[in-house]
Amino acid sequence: MQNELDYDSQREVFTKIVKAGKRTYFFDIKATKGQDHYITLTESKKVNVNGKEVFQKHKVFLYKEDFEKFSETLLEVMNKANELNIREDSNSSYVGDVHFEDL
């Protein structure tokens, strides 16, 4: 078990943590035995299971050959989500034309 922990800690090259409400996101750069680098994105969320608090984790592995496509697509999707949110926000604040006679 100790050897596994040592190996895993040696593979970690860089970590960035983002706390967002009840969730925490870990962006890790790790290295393979051959020194190729890859990214793991981990979402960690504290949940209650049978009266016990545990961390539920979801992980995505992103390999170097996919970095460019992934980042381009992520940026495109984030821009679209922002555009939709802006449009939704502007529509929700719009009450419509109110005429004095309608009151």
26-36 pLDDT, tens digit each? 999 999 989 89
Half-sphere exposure of 61 (CA within 13 A, CB side): 6
pLDDT of 103: 41
Percentage of the chain exceeding pLDDT 90: 61
For residue 70, give every residue at least 6 positions away whose Cβ sits within 8 Å of its Cβ, in sequence order, or none: 62
Neighbours of 44 (CB within 10 A): 16
Task: Please tell me the pTM assigned to this model.
Answer: 0.69
Strand residue runs (E) in 3-99: 12-20, 23-31, 37-49, 52-63
Please check the confidence at residue 100 and state whether its pLDDT lies above 50.
no
Model confidence band, residue 8 (pLDDT cutoffs 50, 70, 90): low
